[in-house]
A = this chain, B = another copy of it.
Amino acid sequence: MPVRATPAIPSGNAEYTAKAKEINERMEAQIPASLRLSPNLLADLPVDVTGIPETCGLLTEKELEITELDATGLCAKLAKGELTAVETVTAYGKRAAIAHQLVHCLVDFFLDEAIERAKELDEYFAREGKVVGPLHGLPISIKEQVPVKGRFASGGFLSLVDISKDDCLMIKILRDLGAVFYVKTNQPQSINHLETVSFHGRTLNPYNINLTPGGSSGGESALLALKGSPIGLGNDGGGSIRDPCAKCGLYGLRPTSNTLPKGGYHHYHFTNDGSVAATGPMCRSARDIDFFISAVRATQPYLKDQMLIPLPWSVPDKLDRKIRVGIMMHDGVVTPQPPMLRALKLAKAKLEASDEVEVVDYVAYEHGLGYDIIREIYFEDGGSTVRRVLKEGGEDILPLTEWVISPPHTFEHTVLQSWDLRYRRDKYKQAYLDYWNDSAIDVLLCPPYPGSANPHDMSRYWGYTAIWNLMDYPGVVFPTGLKLDPKVDVAYETTEPMSESDKYFRDFYDPDYMAGAPVCLQLVARRFNDCMLMAAQKVVERIIKS
């Protein structure tokens, strides 16, 4: 019997329960009767729900065609007048409503407002014969923490819910470029899980609803995997773009930090600047990453946001030389589960057989130490703010929240301990850069997570993504085309766990229960090498899939 989407997973006191109920009822009431799936269908869902949007009968042929297109494809058609903004957002809005009923991915649904905006765009296009900007008519789904004027937002706790008074800078820019907003998506309690379960309820993985869609931008990944959005906006401080993309077979880039604006994004704490999250796109094609960032960066957001660095964005069509690809089979802490190891081996064989790239084995440099450092950085306050904010909302702490703020990584630092921590951070980063330079690689191919998507509430290791947050190295996740196959991905090749975390992942591995989950890989480059990384990703993916 598969897990079902259940609202308001964290329990709480009476006030909390009433408020969470109200928020969930508000959300559910936003889905009109015309977009409701039949109770019979919902009563007997398969484990893999990705086929339902096509077969449920709520979408027209044209709507199904539109929702097959990626952002780049949509914008090309919108710019030629082959699609209207209204029909585009209507198709995506309908499909998002269906997705929500299957995997509980939305926290706000405002298709009517979106259609009004789309009408204005269509009128502009009809009148002026041109688009308002490169994203004219493009529906973009937005993670809850990102303020969109008049829409629901929070910092990951019920006590921090808010109706945004204004667009944040990123949303202003996207709106000016022609984007149409229609949904906001779920994120976990504290926005600090690689899963997505909050006072809005639990979001499921469309490929196997017994599994997590990842997190913290897991409302986005679940929605995107069901094609309820062409492109979404996430934010990644420990894996929160790459992890949900990896668990749902999507493309996602965590760019070098402070290259895209995230001013105004909600979070529960004051500026903990020991490491900085980076916002970026989550999408269904690699080219959409380039398309999205090109459009945003061309507006020179660094003139308006004091955090931003004015670097150019231009992904080369071709790399100017044969690139050196490092391959890291594991990080020395947690052994990849069988489907991830299979993907790595396949990639290695294909890349080694190619003349286009040079392949070298890459041994992880003290990733365990780096992971310890960034975990210590996340909650220098010993988690006291999380506990306070929970208490203020009468909201019970979830096991993954408790885990992430628990000792030994988390304890209340004095300022001197914080200075010392940041000193160790910088020393580690310098040593890592020296090591990377010695390896002379251009990009590193590695797992984004120890496995494909895991059962709910088990995402207790962030090392494969968080290490690159610490380093501030851009990382892009992309699908290999493989899925966990219980016939092939039977068992680990080794028996000795490398760590407690490794043992944990070995213990819960269950190929039958976890079947069908897509397998993604991660490609990483040195800080600020985002454009080279995206050019290399194209080559690497092509070779792997050849």
Contact = CB atoms under 8 A, between A and B. Distances in A.
Contacts of A304: 433, 437
A415 B433 CA distance: 28
Given A307-B426, A311-B311, A426-B306, A272 B433 contact: no
A419 B381 contact: yes
A413 B309 CA distance: 29
A423 B263 contact: no
Interface in A392-422: 412-416, 418-420, 422
A503 interface: no
Contact of A422 (B263, B273, B310): B273
A425 B432 CA distance: 30
A380 B415 contact: yes
A163 to B, nearest CB: 22
Nearest to A434: B304
A303 interface: yes
Interface string A296-312: 00000011111101110
A262 to B, nearest CB: 12
B303 A437 contact: yes
Most buried by B among A305, A415, A429, A471: A415
A423 B528 contact: no
A527 B430 CA distance: 25
A322 to B, nearest CB: 19
A384 interface: yes
A307 B309 CA distance: 13
Nearest to A274: B273
A419 B270 contact: yes
A385 interface: yes
A345 interface: no
A311 B425 CA distance: 24
A34 interface: no
A272 B309 contact: no
Interface string A518-531: 00000000011000
A420 B303 contact: no
A384 B416 contact: yes
A271 B423 contact: yes
Contacts of A270: 416, 419-420, 422-423
Given A309-B309, A309-B528, A419 B271 contact: yes
Most buried by B among A306, A311, A413, A419: A306
B415 A271 contact: no
A425 B303 contact: no
B306 A433 contact: yes
Interface string A197-231: 00000000000000000000000000000000000
Interface in A498-546: 527-528
* The 8 residue pairs across chains A and B that have the minimum distance between CB atoms: A270-B419, A270-B423, A271-B422, A271-B423, A306-B429, A306-B433, A380-B415, A306-B430
Given A304-B433, A306-B471, A414-B414, 13 more contacts: A270-B416, A270-B422, A273-B422, A302-B528, A306-B426, A306-B429, A306-B432, A306-B433, A306-B527, A307-B426, A309-B311, A381-B419, A412-B415
21 contacts: A270-B420, A271-B423, A271-B426, A272-B422, A273-B422, A302-B528, A304-B433, A304-B437, A305-B433, A306-B426, A306-B429, A306-B432, A306-B433, A309-B309, A309-B311, A310-B528, A384-B416, A412-B415, A413-B415, A414-B415, A415-B415
